[in-house]
């Protein structure tokens, strides 16, 4: 079998799982800017599945495709440190405000230039939890989708076998390449950084980053062109601006409310026998239990 061309869709997200005290404002709402930007966890599970295919099928390559602002290049580098061969940053002001459908359109336009055999994405991103971009990208490209994957078992004669983890069990399915697979958190964790890759890619930068950088001791553009991470704009991927951003998004956000914890009148009890005995009696008398 010839090597596979694998593209991993990844997103840089605020770490909404760890909203610590530092990220809370005085009014009890979350200060989103204070949250760390991380590699979306299920996209790391997706990357691991891609790297396992690369290990298994000689000559395969893994690239990361991400859409976001300039600093999202961080996760492309992170992916390269863990074994990816490269990546592309899809970045343009015109993408701002896109809902899942407009995002999927942008990503699918970029994928048209990448000729992937397999596109692997995390099932969902922790900032939105929608699980929509994977299937919508597949639809836009007219590709088969296999969601909720826990393990890509293998590929034989252009047919992929995938184990899916569903709410109440497992399913093993087969589908033809090319296709889109989305991966669950129940899949194996991503391998950690590899020292050789870290050395090789630590100077990888986008053109925008190179402009801003003070690392003038190495002229990457001329000396090490393979370390330049491509940035693609709306024009580069031949996207229709009407299909992007707010105008390309069928869904609109009408209102955002911050969740604020409002205190109830709670009674504080000690763990001594008297307090607990009294509590159990109250619960039984009110028919809450018993």
Partner 1 sequence: MNNIIVYCEIEDGKVADVSLELLTKGRSLANELKCKLEALVIGSDLNGIEKTLYPFGVDTVFLANDTRLYPYVTAPHAAIMIGLFKEEKPQVALLGATSIGRDLGPKVSSALHSGLTADCTSLVIGDHYEKKTDTKYDQLLYQIRPAFGGNIIATIINPDCRPQMATVREGVMKKEIMDANYVGEIKNIEVDKYLAPEHFAVKIIERHIEASKINMKGAPVVVAGGYGVGSKENFDLLYQLAEVLGGEVGASRAAVDAGLVEHDRQIGQTGLTVRPRLYIACGISGQIQHTAGMEESAMIISINNDINAPINKIADYAIHGKVEDVIPKMIKHYKANTK
Based on the shown chain and the rule CB under 8 A, indicate whether residue 2 belongs to the binding site for partner 1. no
- Are residues 52 and 183 in contact, defined by beta-carbon separation less than 8 angstroms? no
- Are residues 231 and 208 in contact, defined by beta-carbon separation less than 8 angstroms? yes
In the set 103, 104, 109, 206, which binds partner 1 (CB under 8 A)? 104
Whats the size of the chain, residue-wise? Answer: 290
In the set 22, 27, 115, 257, which binds partner 1 (CB under 8 A)? 257
Shortest Å distance, C-beta 99 to partner 1: 7
HSE (side-chain half, CA atoms, 13 Å) at 245: 12
Based on the shown chain and the rule CB under 8 A, indicate whether residue 176 belongs to the binding site for partner 1. yes
CB atoms within 10 A of CB 95: 23
- Options 57-65, 111-119, 128-136, 227-235: segment touching partner 1 (CB under 8 A): 128-136
* Of 102 and 229, CB closest to partner 1: 102
Shortest Å distance, C-beta 185 to partner 1: 9
> Which positions from 6 through 65 interact with partner 1, judged by CB under 8 A?
14, 16-17, 19, 29-30, 32
Pairing of strands 5-10, 61-67: parallel
Q: How far apart are CA 7 and CA 11, in angstroms?
A: 13
In the set 12, 49, 98, 147, which binds partner 1 (CB under 8 A)? 147
Q: How far apart are CA 197 and CA 82, in angstroms?
A: 7
Shortest Å distance, C-beta 135 to partner 1: 4
Based on the shown chain and the rule CB under 8 A, indicate whether residue 132 belongs to the binding site for partner 1. yes
């Amino acid at each position: 079998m010839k090597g596979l061309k694998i593209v991993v869709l990844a997103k840089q997200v605020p770490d909404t799982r760890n909203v610590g005290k530092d990220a809370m404002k005085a009014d009890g709402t979350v200060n989103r800017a204070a949250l760390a930007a991380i590699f979306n966890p299920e996209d790391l599970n997706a990357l691991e599945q891609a790297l396992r295919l690369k290990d298994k099928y000689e000559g395969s390559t893994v690239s990361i495709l991400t859409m976001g602002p300039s600093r999202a290049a961080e996760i492309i580098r992170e992916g390269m440190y863990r074994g990816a061969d490269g990546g592309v940053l899809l970045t343009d002001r015109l993408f701002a405000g896109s809902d899942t459908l407009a995002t999927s359109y942008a990503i699918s336009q970029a994928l048209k230039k990448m000729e992937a055999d397999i596109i692997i994405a995390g099932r969902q991103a922790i900032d939105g939890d929608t699980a929509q971009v994977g299937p919508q990208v597949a639809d836009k490209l007219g590709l088969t989708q296999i969601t909720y994957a826990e393990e890509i078992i293998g590929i034989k004669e252009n047919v992929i076998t995938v184990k899916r983890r569903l709410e109440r069990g497992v399913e093993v399915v087969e589908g033809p390449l090319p296709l889109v697979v989305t991966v669950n958190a129940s899949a194996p964790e991503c391998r950690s950084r590899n020292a050789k890759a870290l050395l090789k890619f630590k100077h990888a930068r986008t053109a925008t980053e190179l402009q801003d950088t003070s690392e003038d001791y190495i002229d990457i553009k001329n000396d090490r062109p393979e370390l330049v991470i491509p940035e693609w704009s709306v024009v580069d991927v031949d996207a229709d601006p009407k299909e992007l951003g707010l105008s390309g998004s069928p869904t609109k956000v009408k209102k955002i409310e911050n969740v604020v914890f409002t205190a109830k009148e709670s009674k504080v009890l000690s763990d001594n026998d008297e307090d607990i005995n009294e509590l159990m009696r109250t619960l039984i008398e009110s028919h809450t239990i018993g």
